[in-house]
Amino acid sequence: MEAQPTSSRSFADTLRSVISHAARLALDVALPTLCVACREPVAGVGVCAECWAKLSFIAPPFCPRLGIPFVYDPGPDLLSMEAIASRPAYQRARAAVRYDDVARTLVHALKYQDRPDLAPAMGRWMARAGEELLREADVLVPVPLHWRRGWSRRYNQSGALARAIGRHSGVPVVRDALRRIRPTRQQIGLSRPQRTANVQGAFRVLPEQSHQIAGRRVVLVDDVLTSGATTDACARALLRAKAAQVDVLVFARVVDTHKAPI
Ligand SMILES: [Zn+2]
């Protein structure tokens, strides 16, 4: 009986240690399984069923060149007004979803909140949206960050998406083909001509990488397509390096709902 106090103390210690271990385990399991958008518990990684339903997946009919969704089907091969007004350097663009609230939350979490674990799900949706482009593609090239931004954010979100798409489609990723050769301002808040000027000549295929691009059909990967200025500047750099064709695949694209289709 003299041993009782010691034994009960050690039992209490053991219990405490078990509880704290269990709590840690529960925390480890619970943290990655909260919905990124609404913070409700979710099975798997990413968004809950409710938030998933709020994502606007882009489906036909859409502009065969820019992938902009049409309100009604204008028939095959009819282009959107945007595609007719200013023809981009890239051939075609596709996006998984419209850039709205839930899409924005996902993009920001991937970009700024150190959540590369979201890339596989987002990449899977992109691989589906870009099936037509990926079937013909030789290589995937992510839009690069300037090295200073890459340093502060630790990883390139477009690179993470490209790797996920590569796993689904079997198309190889060329990571360092494209370089940002001068820092650019954030495109947010700039007008369309300012955006174009900001990124003009900012990208380049390094000569030692050009053999990976010349003669290849490239799918350029980015998280969001807004004005298309960045993707257009990247496409021009790839074409200068003799890419056979450049298509663009993004997670989300801004869709101007006020403009009528064609
Ligand atoms: Zn949710």
**% of residues, the chain, pLDDT over 70:** 82
Q: How many angstroms does the Cα of residue 167 sit away from the middle of ligand 1?
A: 26
Q: What is the overall mean pLDDT for the chain?
A: 83
DSSP state of 117: G
pLDDT at 185: 74
pLDDT over 70 at 215, yes or no: yes
Q: Regarding beta strands 203-205 and 178-180, do their DSSP bridges make them parallel or antiparallel, or are they unpaired?
A: antiparallel
Q: How many angstroms does the Cα of residue 94 sit away from the middle of ligand 1?
A: 25
pLDDT over 50 at 260, yes or no: no
Residues with CB under 5 A from ligand 1 (ion): 35, 37-38, 48, 51
Q: How many angstroms does the Cα of residue 117 sit away from the middle of ligand 1?
A: 16
Q: How many angstroms does the Cα of residue 196 sit away from the middle of ligand 1?
A: 36
251 Cβ contact list (under 8 Å, min separation 6): 95, 96, 97, 103, 106, 107, 122, 125, 126, 161, 222, 223, 224
Residue 160: how many other CB atoms lie within 10 Å: 23
Q: How many angstroms does the Cα of residue 125 sit away from the middle of ligand 1?
A: 17
Top-confidence residue, 27 or 52: 52
Alpha helices per DSSP H over 113-246: 119-129, 131-136, 147-153, 157-169, 192-199, 229-240
Backbone angles phi, psi at 62, to 5 degrees: -145, 165
Stretch 65-75: mean pLDDT: 88
pLDDT over 80 at 14, yes or no: no
Q: How many angstroms does the Cα of residue 15 sit away from the middle of ligand 1?
A: 35
Q: How many angstroms does the Cα of residue 242 sit away from the middle of ligand 1?
A: 44
Q: pLDDT grade, residue 4 (50/70/90)?
A: very low
Q: How many angstroms does the Cα of residue 46 sit away from the middle of ligand 1?
A: 8
Q: How many angstroms does the Cα of residue 39 sit away from the middle of ligand 1?
A: 6
Helix axes 157-169, 119-129, angle to 10 degrees: 60
Q: How many angstroms does the Cα of residue 41 sit away from the middle of ligand 1?
A: 8
Report cis status (omega within 30 of 0) of the bond before 193. Answer: no
Containing 252, the helix (H) or strand (E) segment is strand 245-253
